[in-house]
A and B are shown apart, each in its own frame.
Chain A
Amino acid sequence: MMLLALCLSFSAFTALSLAMEKHQMDLHGRQAASVSRRRMWSVLGWLLLAAAFALCVVDHGWALGPVLWLGAMTLGGLLLAFGLYPWKPRWIVPLAVALPVMGLVAAVV
């Protein structure tokens, strides 16, 4: 469950970054960056962050859950900002889709 929360926070930050014009252009060029599209990404991002928060609290309780959530966001954000955007931007979207699926499988198994 902890792993799933980590993966979700990565996907959430991916969605939130895609809600920004600058990073839309990094990944898709200028055409894809319509206002309504970007608002959709931002809603999705916040929803995923909320889901990650819920998972952390379910897994670690109200005392430790929020701490875990903040840590998960730090890891997700660092991976995105220092790792993938400058070096491997093509990997971002596939990873953002694949990681939560893998996390879900790991949580179920």
Chain B
Amino acid sequence: MKNGFRQSMACLHTWTGLLVGWLLLLIFMAGTASYYREEISRWMRPELPATTVSTDVAAERAVGYLQTHAGQAETWFVTLPDPRNPAMRMFWRNPESMVKPPVEGERRRRGGGRFGDATIDPNTGEKLEARETRGGEFFYRLHFDLHYIPVLWARYLVGFCAMFMLVAIITGVITHKKIFKDFFTFRKDKGLRSWLDFHNVSAVMALPYHAMITYTGIVTLMVMYLPWGVKVAYPTDEDAFFSEAFGGMPEISAPAEGRAAALPIQQLLDSARTHWKGADVSGFSVTSPGAANAVIDIRQRDGRRLSTDTPALRYDMVSGELLMETPASGAATATRGVMYGLHLARFADWGLRALFFLSGLTGCLMVASGVVLWAVKERPKHAKTGRIGFGLRLVDALNIGAVAGLPIAFASYFWANRLLPLQTAERADAEVSVFFYAWGTALLAAFIWPKRVMWTWQLYLGAALFALLPLLNALTTHAHLGVTIPAGDWVLAGFDLVMLAFGAMLAMCGWRMQRWTPPLTAAEKKKRAAAAAVAAEAQA
């Protein structure tokens, strides 16, 4: 019975893993890149300044800019700069009376044209003009919205993959016979054995991470996957559930009244810091700016909390009186906050972030080795009959297109960012298209010729694209390694160096793929030994 159970688990593991493997690899890669989405966004806009100023100065500049450019707005929303992101982003909502009717034939903006936004330099308070790009945000959205598919369908698809992944993790642990005995065991140059070892070790070493990221990933979209509980408890008003469960501060609906001078922003931020015993501020939003009843919500910076539920304080902007504080969350909300937090890892400092990134990469390797393993295991059966069957051919093509093709797509996205002319219409979308053109081409090539040569070529191409990226950066911008390393700008330098490292790793994979020879069968070995013996005799 024991054996039967384990075998059925192994079967389940194989098929759940294989079915979603390729999409899962895309999700894992894009998700892993998202740990550095701020850094990627910065690299992709090299025009942005590198220097930072104190939070207070930045906040003053923000208020100054908004007073001149969005004086009549209903609300302002400001994200203050931090070491990861030196530019300052803000947006505002205009009153309905200010909205112009949409121009015929023009693309309608989100929110019906009521929202304005700006990115400004906190040093000068001037608006920053940087190239149009979606930066790291693209990867973040890609890993649960999948870009071309309608958002709702995409999220169900991603949730389906995540559920399968969870099943694959659990069945994988059951199937793995010697999880402790083979904890450190990776036997190289042994064909199928090596692939199996590699898959096992990459899974076991980061097992807490794999289980956590998959489970919390499902939790982030739980209300969408299991809406019925909410529907029963809040039959008419789902919004009430969201504001009660995750909302924090209630929205203010009172209209602006009168005009009054607000307190200096620095003073308000200081009282928030005192209230939090020194914790810093990450941003603020103002409702009815300039009015006598203006209020400001100040948000705390993520630091030593796992949870994403950010504490906030609400002050009267004119009198400076503390009006409200985010309530302590209940157990269920706190649990969800921690799970969400663990998935996003916003709390992570540079070291912890690097470890999350590394664990994510290990996840990519686990998925990639899993799908390759299936093909390696299957091949001898086909070799016996002398022809490659349809299933194996399909898996081979998808393996090449995903495992070797996706790195090409990622690198191409970065190349497009540097090479597309700055005045290209819809430039940000064009960059995204390059990603999918590159991936599509790689997939197509893999389907046409799913052979080992294709593996080698695509791995080498990916290696070249990644490794030459710092060089391209040096040729097209002034934020290259020659500048960033002496200046100690480790965000930009780190990006280039990591690209070099990826290039080197892919090149190594390509080289091993090229050099590898299939192991000899026993009969061939005997034949060769006999031939060698004959030759030796002849010499003697």
Contacts and interface: CB of A to CB of B under 8 A. Distances in A.
Interface string A52-96: 000000001101100110111111011011100111000000000
Contacts of A11: none
B205 A78 contact: yes
Contact of A85 (B184, B304, B342, B356): B184
Contact of B306 (A63, A70, A81, A86): A63
Contacts of B183: 16-17, 20, 77, 81
Nearest to B189: A86
A20 B198 CA distance: 19
A22 B355 contact: no
B184 A63 contact: no
A60 B187 contact: no
Contacts of A61: 304
B91 interface: no
B181 A20 contact: yes
Nearest to A73: B205
B28 to A, nearest CB: 15
Interface in A12-70: 13, 16-17, 20, 22-23, 60-61, 63-64, 67-68, 70
Most buried by B among A13, A17, A82, A85: A82
B151 interface: no
Interface string B357-380: 011001000000000000000000
Contact of B355 (A17, A72, A80, A85): A72
A2 interface: yes
B351 A64 contact: no
Interface residues of B, number: 27
A74 B354 CA distance: 12
A87 B186 CA distance: 10
A74 B359 contact: yes
B206 interface: yes
A59 to B, nearest CB: 9
A22 B185 contact: yes
A30 B533 CA distance: 34
Contacts of B202: 78, 82
Contacts of A87: 188
B186 A75 contact: no
Most buried by B among A16, A61, A63: A63
Contacts, number: 76
Interface in B181-197: 181, 183-188
Contacts of B198: 82
A83 to B, nearest CB: 9
A85 B201 CA distance: 13
Interface string B409-429: 000000000000000000000
A18 to B, nearest CB: 10
Nearest to A26: B184
Nearest to B351: A2
Contacts of A77: 183-184, 201, 205
Nearest to B341: A63
A81 B184 contact: yes
A77 B358 CA distance: 12
Contacts of B342: 67
Contacts of A71: 209, 352, 355-356, 358-359
A41 to B, nearest CB: 13
Contact of A74 (B184, B186, B305, B355): B355
B358 to A, nearest CB: 6
B518 interface: no
Contacts of A80: 184
Given A22-B185, A71-B359, A82-B186, A60 B352 contact: yes
A32 to B, nearest CB: 17
Nearest to A79: B205
Contacts of A16: 183
B311 to A, nearest CB: 14
Nearest to A67: B352
A76 B486 CA distance: 31
Nearest to A22: B185
A86 B184 contact: no
A78 B296 CA distance: 48
B184 A23 contact: yes
A68 B184 contact: no
A59 B142 CA distance: 35
B347 interface: yes
Given A17-B184, A22-B181, A61-B304, 13 more contacts: A64-B304, A64-B306, A64-B348, A67-B306, A71-B352, A74-B355, A75-B358, A77-B201, A78-B202, A81-B185, A82-B202, A85-B186, A86-B186
25 contacts: A13-B184, A20-B183, A20-B184, A60-B304, A63-B305, A64-B304, A64-B348, A67-B342, A67-B352, A68-B351, A70-B209, A71-B358, A74-B358, A74-B359, A75-B358, A77-B184, A77-B205, A78-B201, A81-B185, A81-B186, A82-B186, A82-B201, A86-B186, A86-B187, A87-B188
